[in-house]
Structure 1
Amino acid sequence: MAGGPGWVIVSVEALATPIESGWVARLGAAVRQEFRAEVLVPAVADPILGSPGCAVPGCVRSSRYAGLCPAHLGRWRKAGRPDRHGWVKTADPEVMGYRPLHSCLVPDCGFGQHRYRLCYRHSHAWDKAGRPAVDRWKPDVAGTPAAVCAIPGCALWAELDAGWCHSHHRRWRLRGCPSAAEFIAYCASYGEDRFDLRPLAPQLRLEIGYALQCRVDANRTRTTPRSIKPLLDHLVASGAESLLERPLAEWLAGLPAAASVNTPRAFLGYAIECLLDLRDGTGWDSEYQRDVWRLRRLGVSGHDGAKLDFTAVHPVWLRELAKRWCRWRMSCGVGLGQLRSDRLALVRLSQFTPGLASSSGPDALDRAALEAYLARLAVEIPHPKTRSAEIGCVTGFLHAVRQHRWASLPAEAQLYPSDQPRRDETPAPRAIPEFVMGQLESPANLDRISDPRIRLLVEVLIRTGLRIGDATRLALDCLVRDPQGAVYLRYRNHKMRRDAVVPIDDELTAMIQTQQERTRQRFPTAAVLLPRSSANPDGRLPIPTATFHLQLGQWLETCGVTDELGQPAYVTAHQFRHTAATRWINHEVPQEVVRRLLDHTSHTMTAVYARLADTTIREQWERAQKINIRGEPVDITVDGPLADGEWMKQNLARAKMALPNGYCGLPLQKSCPHANACLTCPLFITTAEFLPQHRKQLDDTRALISRAQTDGHTRLAEMNRTVETNLLTIIATLETDQRDCRCAAADSETCCGKESSDAP
């Protein structure tokens, strides 16, 4: 009897008995017909319930070991275990139970062989004829029977009254004369693994069938008959009528050793979860009242087994407010990671606030209680950044309760900005030191990454600075080109919930194209570039970030990566993002460009990542050449132990003694003998950024000289001619330097001698 695609259904008639009302009736209605059978035989190479096909070309059976079916496995062992890859190419694909049955040797006779390779009738006739040579014996042949054997693929004539050929009739009798549908299914699946649910109680049989149905519908985890047979045997021995009659913990505690391995335990838990979903329902109506939310029931995908456990939040009134707040946060699109932080913050609020766990209402949450909570939090969580995040969660909770009037909190039940811990203004940079990066980028070390997906991820993180969560979820068609043919990597910025692109080089493009080909070959319908290798039969799921973190740590250990002190280096995936940004900044990429490359919303975010190295800062300072009033370069190169001190002095003077058109180079401790006459002062220093002011002052000076000469003020004209001469020298020198500067194409406002206005 045919069922779903690729299924062989056995003894469906056994379920013709009436099903009880209530829960069992609902269960029976939910189980599709193909999963109601007492014996389920998955099709060969079924991605969830079956096993891969035998490696011998033409063999129709599934593999058991080493890619071979039991029959070919025995033949291979008997042949002395030669190289399997070469042996399977020449092996006979026909095996017992699937080999075509031979007909009688008498020409035109279609009955199966009985004795002497003759059918039953001709074997007796041959005896009576004295057993002549068969090739010269010409007995009578009956006309063609009305039907051939009922077994699909068998072309022999049917005998007797059951509709089978001689061989299948004998096998049918040995099987106890089952129904035609059951026997046909048995023959079609001869030698294959099967889920034999006949020994189970009727309700338990339905429950296992429903769990298998859910496995197939989820299209995730492979569950073969052999993998859960120890569990089915234990259920039979337990005498249980239903999986729901005992808690999961009790079931797990009673499993024998054979059923205590991962697959049977996981399937048992999965089956109970599916049954509870069916019995209790899903969605907020059924889940909100629980103290442990299974997020799968609330439509949160991509997080297998994720839960929010509120049982540690005390008292009950605070727990109900916490659940209401988290439900509202989920409706606003807050991610699972933040929800877990919110829940943990409220757990600590209930634990760290004296008397709160035993209180009867929100009145206990006054300012004194919050101050006690803050004091305890400072002891338990000394790190300012972590503590600040906790306080932020509690602040948001109190604000939401008051805003939505979920409860009547005391007026003083609130936290203020001053309650936040003081944090370092300039936290330590998180970029990976170049000493370590040199080891990570070594071709020899990169070649030690065996998984090509992990190798590509490392390259993407180093070259683009993507977040690991965005990199693992790259689409298969992630490469785009602009009209000029330049290649960009298109990705989804999941944190900001928008699409973004980043330019990439030809080498990374080639790596991605190679991975695209690998993915298409293994998963023709895949939509992700880096599919996970397990529990992913159709390739729709990306590689988990946890897999990358695990393999990154193993790779660092294998390569023996150390820091400058010789200690094992600790590297996280997110540090590659900090490193990329810091490298771009130190290669003089404008901060606005870095912001766009990182797809940040503000420069403040970029400033957290991008840090100028001390060497880059000094190089920029030395590049901004200064000249004095005679147009001569000022020697600012200082070597020796005082070099850094001289550099800081120059920058301090620039900050404290800036003039409208330059800077004063006089040490701060000395007085100026040229007050109001900077352009005639030998200590005056200027740069090209002040050219517009110099040109304007030159025009004003020439006008002043002309008026002084007209009015007969010779001394005033002579004094300003010195200023005019100095201005002409300064302007000529600065214009020459500006033409030679790498920023000559930009106007003087953005020349390299001037600090960027958007610097962090």
Structure 2
Amino acid sequence: MPRLRHAKCRRLGVAGFIGAFGDLTGWAATSTTARREVRTEVMSFAAYAIVRCQVPVDVDFVVASGCRWGIYIRDAYPEQATEFDEQAASLGFCSKETGRMWSYLAKICIIAGTAPGELSPGQYQQARTALHDGIVEVRGYRPKSLSTPLFGLDALMFHRGQAPAPDIRRRWTGRPANEVEWKDLAARGPQLVATMRRYLAQCALSLQPSSVTLFDTTLRQFAAHLLAADPPVSCVAEVAREHIESFKTVLATRPGYRGKMLSKTTRGMRLGHLHTFFSRITEWNYSDVPARIPVYVTDRPRLDKPLPKFLDDAQAVAFMNAARQLPDPLDRLIVTVLARTGMRRGELLGLTVDAVVQIGTGYWLRTPVGKMHTDRYIPLHPQLKDLLDEWITTRPRWQSSPLLLTERGRPIPPTRVDKAVQKAASAARLGHVHPHQLRHTLATQAINRGMSLEAIAALLGHRDLSMTMVYARIADRTVADEYFAVTKKVESLYAASQPAVLPAEAAGPAMRVLRAEATKRLLGNGYCARPLELDCRYETICESCTMFFTTIEHRPTIQAQRNDADAKGQTGRRDVYDNLLKRLDDTPA
């Protein structure tokens, strides 16, 4: 009986569709409002025909119709739907998330008029943008239920080869709302913007993209400040010292992206960018340049030079024990790599799946080109090698991205690394720990255990030893240990009721070396004042050497040596000793 009822509904749907629209051409020519007012069975047949015939549908109807497009596309392409589900599961999406992603993919396919497996990257991007904008327009705001599935769908479709590379962050969180774009600034100051963008284009040819991005942000902020001045500055040649001073005030008072005031480091970076900008365009002989460079080196705030923050041995043990207990394998891998290698956060994010290489009998980790524009090899600890092998084994091999660390098919952002480190720190009850502290911790542990500065510099990827010398200051802990060991013995001397003699070992190794050196240079009748770097090839002419000096306590020895020389008829030696005795007698005590 139910099957007869369904068959009757289908017949009524077909008849109603033909009677109302004739065919799909007539249906497409009808208004969205008229199409939505038809009976349910007519709407169902129209959706079925659209999917089977792959007819593109306008965005307004797809958004407003309420049709269950995911079911229609799944019924039409069951094998493609199964493959999609398996791929989403391998990236870590649950069934509920996969269903929502499929629902939006179905709408994208309806707008593009094609099957899920036949979407090209261009078609996907165009239809996805239209769907996103259409939903926002209908609802009047950007719903979270829209952003989350589309964010995951972008990554999945990229690995399928049907979408461009996804952003690391969501677009609406990457930049504050008050940041202006170049196109808005160009309408108000075309010559000013043209000079700045010409400069940025040249920087892009020789600098890292991340550096160019920072320059871009600084110049956009500065251009917006100049155009808002009274009167507005229309070109770079009009920039004067007063504009730099007012911009410094703005930097010192404006809040940052997280609501806090800009740090000295950020303000100094911005002013450094401007100084470099004016210096370079002057050197490059641009026509749009001021008469003199308006930014001075003294404009940059003087920065403090604190010692690097690191975890001491007890804290490091607690931290690593907590890291091994983290339930998420990605968290464990992130923390272990940072702690065992001393890598920078950016270097960690740039690791690729082929980063582990074997050299001889050992395994090494190849770091990507990063902050210092160089790469290096870091020896791999066996535990870290096992973690990396386990991670690479479980990583879906069909992914298009060569990056080692991905989550749900998307490159992880820097904040994901921060959260992993903080999870281990919270579990160890250490408070706030930043990923760079693990780098400082490894270097401090290494130098306090005898590793040379050259080896530490090679391990950390420092360009020169001046960057590594800061860890030598931390190594004063070794001096402190010896100091307190000696102090304890000295305190026992002060606390005694009767004077006591300190044991020989109380002097410490440095003082024992000094005492041995002094004893070695003590002569039988005086001392040798010759510097250590000036060697002496003689053994019997010390008393006539200009470096020799003696004191009254050695007079008996010198008198005996004088008498011995006189008895043996050695007049030369006797005269030397006579002169020494006369000098001692003439010298006041």
TM-score interval for Structure 1 and Structure 2 normalised by the shorter chain? 0.5 to 0.7
Counterpart secondary structure, 2:540: helix
Q: Which residue of 2 aligns with 1:495?
A: 371
Residue type of the alignment partner of 2:439: R
Q: Shift in Å at residue 467 of structure 1?
A: 1.4
Alignment partner, residue 439 of structure 1 = 318
In the other structure, the counterpart of 1:469 is: 346
Superposition deviation, residue 712 in structure 1: 0.7
Amino acid at match of 2:288: S
Structure 1 contact 310–343 (Cα < 8 Å) conserved: no
2:208 to 320, 323, 334: 334
Provide, for residues 427-484 of structure 1, a one-character-per-residue CA deviation record: whole Å limited to 9, x for no partner: 2322234454333122xx224411112202211111110112322443334333333x
Q: Give the CA deviation at 1:636.
A: 9.0
* Cross-structure match for 2:66: none
Q: Provide the secondary structure at the position in 2 that maps to 1:488.
A: strand
Give the corresponding residue for 1:394: 274
Residue 576 (structure 1) shift: 1.1
- 1:413 counterpart = 2:413: no
In the other structure, the counterpart of 2:11 is none
Matches of 1:441 and 1:402 in 2, distance apart?
52
Distance 1:340 1:264 in 2: 28
Mapping for residues 665-680 of structure 1, pairs under 5 Å: none
Confirm whether residue 458 of structure 1 aligns to residue 335 of structure 2: yes
CA distance, structure 2, for counterparts of residue 610 and residue 214 of structure 1: 61
Matches within 5 A, 1:235-246: 243=130
2:142 and 2:299 map into 1 onto residues whose CA distance is: 57
Give the distance between the partners of 1:662 and 1:475, measured in 2 at CA: 54
**1:310 alignment partner, one of 169, 173, 181:** 181
Cα gap change, 1:663 to 1:430, in 2 (>3 Å): same
Q: Classify the secondary structure of the residue corresponding to 1:578.
A: helix
Are 2:236 and 2:290, in contact at CA under 8 Å, matched by a contact in 1? Answer: yes
Provide the rounded CA distance (Å) in 2 between the counterparts of 1:449 and 1:325: 47
* 1:590-739 → structure 2 map (5 Å cutoff): 590-608=452-470, 611-618=473-480, 639-640=490-491, 693=533, 696-697=535-536, 699-704=537-542, 712-714=572-574, 716=576
**Structure 1 residues 196 and 369: alpha-carbon distance in aligned structure 2, compared to 1, 3 A threshold:** closer
Supply the distance in 2 between the matched residues of 1:489 and 1:268 (Cα, whole angstroms).
Answer: 30
Does the 8 A contact of 1:436 with 1:561 survive in 2? Answer: no
Name the SS for the 2:309 alignment partner: coil
Report the equivalent of 1:208: 112
- Contact 2:203–2:212, Cα closer than 8 Å, also in 1: no
Q: Is the 8 A contact 1:490 1:502 kept in 2?
A: yes
Residue deviations 1:162-204 (CA, integer Å, cap 9, x gap): xxxxxxxxxxxxxxxxxxxxxxxxxxxxxx989877xxxxxx9
> What is the aligned partner in structure 2 of residue 510 from structure 1?
386
Q: Match for 1:262: what amino acid?
A: L
CA distance, structure 1, for counterparts of residue 317 and residue 226 of structure 2: 46
Q: Give the SS at the match of 1:712.
A: helix
Aligned length: 454
- Bigger shift: residues 354-363 or 398-407: 354-363
The answer to whether the 8 Å contact 2:326/2:332 transfers is yes
* Aligned counterparts of 1:371 and 1:641: Cα–Cα separation in 2: 62
Mapping 1:356-371, distance limit 5 Å = 358-371=232-245
Structure 1 residues 259 and 215 mapped into 2: Cα distance closer, same or farther (>3 Å)? farther
Q: Are residues 1:449 and 2:318 paired?
A: no
Query: Does the CA contact (< 8 Å) of 1:44 and 1:50 recur in 2?
Result: no
In the alignment, residue 492 of structure 1 is paired with which amino acid? P
Is the CA contact 2:378–2:459 (under 8 Å) kept in the aligned structure 1?
yes
Sequence identity percentage: 18
Residue 394 of structure 1, CA deviation: 0.8
Could you tell me how far apart the structure 1 residues matched to 2:525 and 2:350 are?
63
Counterpart contact for 1:310–1:319, Cα < 8 Å = no
Match of 1:428 in 2: 307
Deviation readout 1:487-542 (Å, 9 max, x if unpaired):
322222322344321113323222323333323xx4366775744231x2xxxx65
Verify: 1:576 aligned to 2:438, yes or no: yes
Matched, 1:51 2:85: yes
Change (3 A) 1:45 1:427: farther
State the 1:610 CA deviation: 5.9
- Secondary structure, counterpart of 1:254 in structure 2: helix
Q: 1:213 to 1:494 in 2, by over 3 A?
A: farther
Decide whether aligned partners of structure 1 residues 217 and 499 sit closer, same or farther in structure 2, where only a CA change above 3 A counts: same
Q: Is 1:532 matched with 2:406?
A: yes
Residue 137 of structure 1 is matched in structure 2 by none
Higher helix share: 2
The one-letter amino acid of 2:540's match is R
Structure 2 counterpart of 1:702, one-letter code: T
Q: Does 1:254 align with 2:114?
A: no
- Distance, in Å, in 1 between the alignment partners of 2:237 and 2:228 is 13
Unaligned runs of 5+ in 1: 1-13, 20-32, 56-62, 70-191, 198-203, 222-227, 232-241, 275-295, 563-568, 624-634, 644-649, 655-660, 667-677, 721-760
Q: Secondary structure of 1:508's partner?
A: helix
**Structure 1 residue 347 displacement after superposition:** 0.8
Residue type matched to 1:515 in 2? W
Distance in 2 (CA, whole Å) between partners of 1:67 and 1:414 is: 55
Which structure has the higher relative contact order (CA within 8 Å, separation 6+)? 2
Q: 1:269 to 1:499 in 2, by over 3 A?
A: closer
Larger CA Rg, structure 1 vs 2:
1
Contact 1:490 1:499 in 2 (8 A): yes
Residue 376 of structure 2: SS of its match in structure 1? strand
Alpha carbons of 1:600 and 1:415: their partners in 2 closer, same or farther (altered >3 Å)? same
**1:402 aligned partner, one-letter code:** T
Structure 1 residues 258, 592: CA separation in 2 closer, same or farther (over 3 Å shift)? closer
For structure 2, the residue ranges without an aligned partner over 5 or more in a row are 1-22, 29-51, 58-71, 255-260, 495-506, 546-561, 581-589
Q: Cα distance, 1:592 vs. partner? A: 0.5
Question: Given that residues 662 and 685 in structure 1 are in contact (C-alpha distance below 8 angstroms), is that contact kept between their aligned partners in structure 2?
Answer: no
Cα gap change, 1:329 to 1:302, in 2 (>3 Å): farther
| Amino acid in the other structure paired with 1:466 | M
**Alpha-carbon contact 1:478-1:490 (below 8 Å) kept:** yes
Aligned-residue CA RMSD in angstroms?
5.8
Residue equivalent to 1:225: none
SS of 1:474's partner is coil
User: 1:392 corresponds to which letter in structure 2?
Assistant: G
Residue 343 of structure 1 pairs with residue 217 of structure 2:
yes
**Partner of residue 741, structure 1:** none
TM-score of the superposition, structure 2-length normalised? 0.59
Shift of the 594–452 alpha-carbon distance from structure 1 to 2, 3 Å rule, reads same
Name 1:547's counterpart in structure 2. 416
**Cα distance in 2 for residues equivalent to 1:409 and 1:390:** 19
Whether the aligned pair in 2 keeps the contact of 1:449 and 1:555 (CA below 8 Å) is yes
What does residue 561 of structure 1 align with?
429
